Structure 1
Amino acid sequence: MSTPETTFWQPATETMSRDRLAAWQWVKLRKALEHARTNSKFWATRIPDGLESLADFQERVPLLYKKDLVAAEAVDPPFGILPSTDPVAGVRFHQTSGTSGHTPLRTFDTARDWAWGVDMWCAALHAAGVRPGQKGCVAFGYGLFMGFWGMQDALSRMGCTIVPTGSMDSVTRVRLIVDQGIEVLGSTPTYAMRLLETAAELGIDLATESKLRIIVTGAEPRSAATTRTLTEGFGARVFDFAGMTELGTVFMFECPSRPGACHIIEPGVVEEVLDPETGRPAGYGERGVRVMTGLGREGIQVFRYWTDDVVVKRPWHDCPCGRTWDFYDGGILGRSDDMRKIRGISVTPVLVEDVVRGFDAVAEFQTVLRTDGGLDKMVLRIEPRPGADQAALAAGVRDAVKRLIGLQPEVRLAAPGELPRFEAKAARFHDERDR
């Protein structure tokens, strides 16, 4: 029988009233602001005196952008004037991936920072059904990108067995998943798709030949079509998680009680949703951009950070799980800085992926925006699976994009293995138009 003690990682914080949660957040935020204002040269000039409430904080503290953090670090690399704690106390060093074209942001965590961040991961993994004694594999490169490092340590803290695969290729990973009886897998959605493709090439059906039951994906938006493919291919429940190097950990996880409901871990983060045009708060059910404030880090702190993540927030009681944390419906829907106008039509990478992934015969794809004769055009390069009717596939993809997005792309076929595969964040969307 399910009880709060078995359902929730920390029942007291996951089921507290909204009034008590808001009070909890303000106590933690007030301490974090005082620490930052006293010890960080950067924050000393941005945090005003006399903040009296969370609403006062949101009204008077200016928004923070990636360029602000990069500029602050450039004063005296690697961390510049950002730290609120002497970097010598750091036990971890990480940096952002830089895939969005920005200069990578470098960051460090103290022992207390890392313990807090891992606990946030534990809450998320426990919600997904991870329990002591399970075998876990985190399929990532074990490099400077923070990515799934927190998941790795959280699985260990929860009493799971970790099977490391950092130096392995996809073939070796697939065989290890089967041979070792891996039950929990973490990776980007793109790389999970690559593992399915590799398994098919090896003649392995992971849905029937493996013990996988929980797939945790993150680091990039995931389309509905990709979710269906992963769920069927692995024969496992696929959960959407999201974190940020700027925060130092995961901030949301998909709830098993309502697919697509990604609860915000609100004891550790304050999340605003703002209209990107007016800057005013967006209400429940309204699309806007996430603005994030971290509550648990002492080394490098972030307040009111404009993330560019597009979300729709809904109230906690719309999910039947019993948590009192609000959630993002569908998780991260895309990024405001990823949206492109093509002949007056707004297009995002996830929108294209959702259409293309609806065709099982597509092994991989790439979107390129170009200028031809003064006009914008979309070129879709698709790599068919072996045995596919290539002409029919190209026509089907072209017609589907035209019908569902409103643009007729030029579809070009790629040879098997020609298009790049990705282990971390995918880079399938390229804007090469004349500026």
Structure 2
Amino acid sequence: MVYSDIESAPREELRALQSERLAETVANAYENVDFYREALDEAGVDPDEIEGVEDVSKLPFTTKTDFRDEYPDGLFAVDHDDVRRIHASSGTTGKPKIVAYTDEDLGVWREVMARSLHAAGVRPGETVQNAYGYGLFTGGLGFHDGVEELGATVIPTGGGNTARQLDMLRDLDSDALACTPSYCLYLAEAAEDRMMDVRKLPLSRVIIGAEPFTDPMREEIERALGVSALDVYGLSEIIGPGVSIECEEAQDGLHVWEDHFYPEVVDPETGEVLPEGESGELVLTTLTKEALPAIRYRTGDITSLTYERCACGRTAVRMDNVTGRTDDLLIVRGVNVYPSQIEDVVLDLGDVAPHYRIDLYREDSLDRMEITVEHHEAFRGTPDQLRDRIESALRDVLEIEPDAVEVVEPGSIERTEVGKVKRVYDHR
């Protein structure tokens, strides 16, 4: 069962709608955003020549640097009088990326979030505990408005305050929880410390996003909380959460709501569009945003696309779970590896808990990688035995040899109660 008929519409119908909306978006950007007018003119692109999605590759890319260079409002396509809400990225790597919404934009956001929650199995009348952070971060208010739009009940717990989170889960019989994957694990540990069995509560699903995670980590979350864990994807520059989500029926990739967001996957080095099924950098173009149209925005997220109809009946293209980010790529002594690849290998051993850190150093012009992991509570071997297995697996699967692997007791690695978890510490 779909929330909107467009989710299962024939591809030809969807493509016609995309083409119409793409032409409108490019015209809006050209007429109202100096940055896009200059970029299109420099690329020799006449907006009138963009007649359909088959022309999208003619358009120039937009990058994170462009957002920061145009700080605070250089990418706005409407007057401030027409803006109803402003959000922003954290700005941890420089100036924050400021994003704006008109009334119409907020309506679209509510609709795609309600559609996403419905695809994840949430129904009107159920209760969703929202543990994403409220404020400038788009997660909290994005989920909040979507739950209300769907007709479900939202508990706006926000991030942190874990004791209160557990009380709310127990006392208010929450059906679903929305938070980051790392916070799910933190919550599970806190519940265990309180001798509280979350698996006996009505909680049936968690909707996790804002951080890359691997299948072994998902499996650990599902085991620890007794739930189904569904991946949701979004980013502030496009709209916030609600760009795509896994369906509860198949959990086989995330359905991108293509009537609002046009996806491509490109080679991170050349920018060339890659064929279906090939892994590369996700590029998104907004098709209905008024305040902040984004044309061919390079997300930095690594994924692939498949257009095969899903077992759930939806025809919307599916993106694979994000396996890493282009700016997360580690190059150590000439070997390229993503942190998520290391996580996938070590957690697949079974005796490693889903808590680890990677430290990078440079000594005498050479890079060093040190990995610290926690063993599971139930592990009965020695740290040396587990270290040898980890080193062997990393060598066999990824062809990397860390300079040091340390196995520590459960709880030794610092946890993150609020915000995104940090896995890599680059001291170079």
TM-score where L is the length of structure 2? 0.91
Number of the residue aligned with 1:236: 227
Counterpart pick for 1:195 among 176, 183, 187 = 187
Q: Which moved more, 1:401-410 or 1:158-167?
A: 401-410
Distance in 2, Cα, partners of 1:393 & 1:286: 34
How far 1:168 moved relative to its partner? 4.9
Counterpart pick for 2:4 among 10, 19, 39 = 10
Number of the residue aligned with 2:34: 41
Q: Per-residue displacement from partner, 1:249-293 (whole Å, max 9, x unpaired)?
A: 321111223223211110011111112233222111111211110
Structure 1 residues 168 and 251: alpha-carbon distance in aligned structure 2, compared to 1, 3 A threshold: closer
Number of the residue aligned with 1:273: 265
Number of the residue aligned with 2:114: 122
Q: Which moved more, 1:166-175 or 1:133-142?
A: 166-175
How far 1:63 moved relative to its partner? 1.1
Distance in 2, Cα, partners of 1:314 & 1:387: 39
One-letter amino acid matched to 2:64? K
Q: Per-residue displacement from partner, 1:191-212 (whole Å, max 9, x unpaired)?
A: 11111111111112212x2111
Q: Given the alignment of the two structures, is residue 293 of structure 1 paired with residue 248 of structure 2, yes or no?
A: no
**Residue 18 of structure 2: SS of its match in structure 1?**
helix
Structure 1 residues 323 and 362: alpha-carbon distance in aligned structure 2, compared to 1, 3 A threshold: closer
Distance in 2, Cα, partners of 1:60 & 1:235: 48
Q: Per-residue displacement from partner, 1:48-90 (whole Å, max 9, x unpaired)?
A: 32224235642332111111121112xxxx21x2111112322
Number of the residue aligned with 2:425: 430
Structure 1 residues 167 and 215: alpha-carbon distance in aligned structure 2, compared to 1, 3 A threshold: closer
Number of the residue aligned with 1:138: 130
One-letter amino acid matched to 2:58? R
Distance in 2, Cα, partners of 1:94 & 1:341: 33
Counterpart pick for 2:98 among 103, 106, 114 = 106
Counterpart pick for 2:344 among 351, 354, 372 = 354
Structure 1 residues 149 and 21: alpha-carbon distance in aligned structure 2, compared to 1, 3 A threshold: same
Structure 1 residues 363 and 300: alpha-carbon distance in aligned structure 2, compared to 1, 3 A threshold: closer
Number of the residue aligned with 1:400: 393
Contact 1:365-1:419 at 8 Å conserved across structures: no
How far 1:229 moved relative to its partner? 0.5
Number of the residue aligned with 1:181: 173
Count, aligned residues: 417
Contact 2:253-2:319 at 8 Å conserved across structures: yes
**Residue 8 of structure 1: SS of its match in structure 2?**
coil
Q: Given the alignment of the two structures, is residue 327 of structure 1 paired with residue 318 of structure 2, yes or no?
A: yes
Number of the residue aligned with 1:29: 22
Structure 1 residues 304 and 168: alpha-carbon distance in aligned structure 2, compared to 1, 3 A threshold: closer
Distance in 2, Cα, partners of 1:432 & 1:183: 42
Distance in 1, Cα, partners of 2:252 & 2:95: 32
Number of the residue aligned with 1:161: 153
How far 1:386 moved relative to its partner? 5.8
Number of the residue aligned with 1:58: 56
Once the two structures are aligned, what percentage of the paired residues are identical? 29
One-letter amino acid matched to 1:37? Y
**Residue 83 of structure 1: SS of its match in structure 2?**
coil
Q: Per-residue displacement from partner, 1:118-146 (whole Å, max 9, x unpaired)?
A: 11111111111110110111112213111
Structure 1 residues 27 and 245: alpha-carbon distance in aligned structure 2, compared to 1, 3 A threshold: same
One-letter amino acid matched to 2:83? G
How far 1:236 moved relative to its partner? 1.4
Number of the residue aligned with 2:67: 69
Distance in 2, Cα, partners of 1:193 & 1:351: 19
How far 1:158 moved relative to its partner? 1.3
Matches within 5 A, 1:362-377: 362=353, 364-377=355-368
Number of the residue aligned with 1:4: none
Q: Which moved more, 1:120-129 or 1:421-430?
A: 421-430
Contact 1:190-1:423 at 8 Å conserved across structures: no
Distance in 2, Cα, partners of 1:360 & 1:193: 16
Contact 1:292-1:303 at 8 Å conserved across structures: yes
Q: Which moved more, 1:238-247 or 1:305-314?
A: 305-314
Counterpart pick for 2:299 among 307, 318, 334 = 307
How far 1:418 moved relative to its partner? 4.9
One-letter amino acid matched to 2:330? R
Structure 1 residues 284 and 386: alpha-carbon distance in aligned structure 2, compared to 1, 3 A threshold: closer
TM-score where L is the length of structure 1? 0.89
Distance in 1, Cα, partners of 2:205 & 2:354: 23
How far 1:39 moved relative to its partner? 1.9
CA RMSD of aligned residues (A): 2.2
Distance in 2, Cα, partners of 1:130 & 1:59: 37
**Residue 280 of structure 1: SS of its match in structure 2?**
coil
Number of the residue aligned with 2:215: 224
Q: Given the alignment of the two structures, is residue 283 of structure 1 paired with residue 275 of structure 2, yes or no?
A: yes
Contact 1:197-1:363 at 8 Å conserved across structures: no
Contact 2:89-2:98 at 8 Å conserved across structures: yes
Contact 1:383-1:419 at 8 Å conserved across structures: no
Distance in 1, Cα, partners of 2:336 & 2:399: 10
Number of the residue aligned with 1:3: none
Contact 2:356-2:413 at 8 Å conserved across structures: no
One-letter amino acid matched to 1:215? V
One-letter amino acid matched to 1:424? G
Structure 1 residues 240 and 167: alpha-carbon distance in aligned structure 2, compared to 1, 3 A threshold: closer
Distance in 1, Cα, partners of 2:343 & 2:251: 20
Q: Given the alignment of the two structures, is residue 82 of structure 1 paired with residue 63 of structure 2, yes or no?
A: no
One-letter amino acid matched to 2:329? M
Q: Per-residue displacement from partner, 1:208-246 (whole Å, max 9, x unpaired)?
A: x21111210111111011011111112111111100100
One-letter amino acid matched to 2:398? I
Q: Given the alignment of the two structures, is residue 421 of structure 1 paired with residue 416 of structure 2, yes or no?
A: yes
Q: Which moved more, 1:111-120 or 1:27-36?
A: 27-36
